[in-house]
Amino acid sequence: MSLIDKSGVNAAELFSAATRAAADILASSTGVEALEHLADTACRIVGARYAAIGVANADGTALDEFVVSGMTDDAKRLIPDKPKGIGVLGILIHRQSPLRLDSISEHPSSVGFPPNHPPMTSFLGVPLCHGGICLGSLYLTDKLGGFSEEDEVLIDALRLQLCVGIRNLQMLRRQQALSQRLITAQEEERKATAADLHDSLTQLVFAAQAHLDSYRARTAALPDSDLDLAIKYLRDAGVECRTLIKRMRVLELEDLGFVAAIGQLIDEEQARAGWDRTNFTTNVHDEDLHAMLAASIYRLVQEALNNIRKHAKATAVDSSVEQVVENGRSSVKLTILDNGTGFDVHAVNQSFEHIGLQSMRERTQLFGGTFRIESERGNGTIIRIRLFPDCIPTTLGNSG
């Protein structure tokens, strides 16, 4: 009989934990949920009171993330800082084998617990390494009678899932950091191009137009339809330049404020697309929104309206931006609905040709948010986005 069998843990429970971990990893946009569930499972199968998973940073020297099982959210909130990987937790980062202790605070490396931390005694720490790289560690504490070798064997059965869960979180974090840098670079590039366009091409177009206008005024008596047409083209080019600059720089946000800027964006798109009806509702006041959040919502609405104009053949577009507080956490809900052709969301998601929706999704993830599309052929499309102001990325440019 194997140690797993002897421990009384149902092999089916381990199997279902492994399956659930895979499903969590596929479904999660942050990777945290998968680790939370794995920590819960680890806790349950060995009979520990608490479990935590530490995710190592890129060079494996400290902890970047710490996921806990066994504590209420309120209890977690009372502990000021997440562990960074010093004391006994730090040892695990440099160890290859598990560490079992009867009392964590008696270990010579123990640095004690932070304020409001529940007391913990027995300890089992398991390094989670793969391919010679430390990905993180699993910590289990407070088992009646202490931890045993059997517990180590049980946890070993989950080790690969734990490693995959950590790797997934690390990759999602890296991807998020990359998207953040790309979006910042894109906004900076747009700003620079808009400035160049304003200073060079637009000035030349307006100068040429002014020159020809004045020439035309002096030769008004002589009919010249070719010249008149050229002047009209130049005027159109000037208007197009201004539109491009405005679209790139989101000047309205700076000049008009968020609510009026979104209203103007919708009006302009309606004029271009010829929609019969648009409706925009919001409970947001300009001063409520962080500039970065406002700029991101503006870009999201801009791309969604662009898509409706280009693809939907809609006659009506409804949008709303709503600030809500649920369970003490504030979020902004953005909804954009059209009554157009609809499309096969699954097929589009599988394709790598389109970047509009993908960039919307990535922008949403920067705010820890969710992005959902419901669409049916012939029945229009609805996009529901939720953004969390408390997740505002620290390095995203303020330019919009």
Q: Which residues bind ligand ATP (CB under 6 A)?
A: 307-308, 310-312, 338, 340-343, 348, 354-357, 381
C-beta of 257 vs 356, nearer to ligand ATP: 356
Cβ atoms of 101 and 123 closer than 8 Å: yes
170, interface contact from Mg ion, ligand ATP, none, CB < 5-8 Å by kind: none
CB of 7 or CB of 341, closer to ligand ATP: 341
- Smallest distance from ligand ATP to CB 379, Å: 10
Of 285 and 354, CB closest to Mg ion? 354
For residue 156, give both structure tokens. 């070993």
Measured from the CB atom, the residue of 129 and 308 that comes closer to ligand ATP is: 308
Q: Which helix (H) or strand (E) holds 146?
A: none
List the one residue out of 136, 115, 190 whose CA is nearest residue 359.
Answer: 190
Which residue sits closest to ligand ATP, CB atoms considered? 356
Minimum Å distance from CB 343 to ligand ATP?
4
* Shortest reach from residue 371's CB to ligand ATP, in Å: 12
Taking the complex as a whole, the smallest distance from the CB of residue 158 to ligand ATP amounts, in Å, to 38
Residue type, 358: Q
Tokens (6 digits) for 297: 């919502």
- The number of beta carbons lying within 10 Å of the beta carbon of residue 227 is 14
Binding partner of 120, given ligand ATP, Mg ion, none, CB within 5-8 angstroms per partner class = none
317 binds, among Mg ion, ligand ATP, none (CB under 5 to 8 A by kind): none
29 binds, among Mg ion, ligand ATP, none (CB under 5 to 8 A by kind): none
Alpha helices in the chain (DSSP H): 3-6, 11-27, 32-46, 73-78, 87-93, 149-199, 201-218, 225-249, 251-256, 258-273, 291-307, 345-350, 356-366
**Cβ proximity to Mg ion, 41 vs 375, nearer residue:** 375
CB neighbour list of residue 336: distance below 8 Å, 6 or more residues apart? 301, 304, 305, 308, 317, 318, 319, 382, 383
Q: Footprint of Mg ion on this chain (CB under 5 A)?
A: 307, 356
At 39, list the tokens.
């920590």
Minimum Å gap between C-beta 82 and ligand ATP is: 36
Which of Mg ion, ligand ATP, none binds 371 (CB below 5-8 Å, type-dependent)? none
Q: Using CA atoms, how far apart are residues 10 and 158, in angstroms rounded to an integer? A: 13
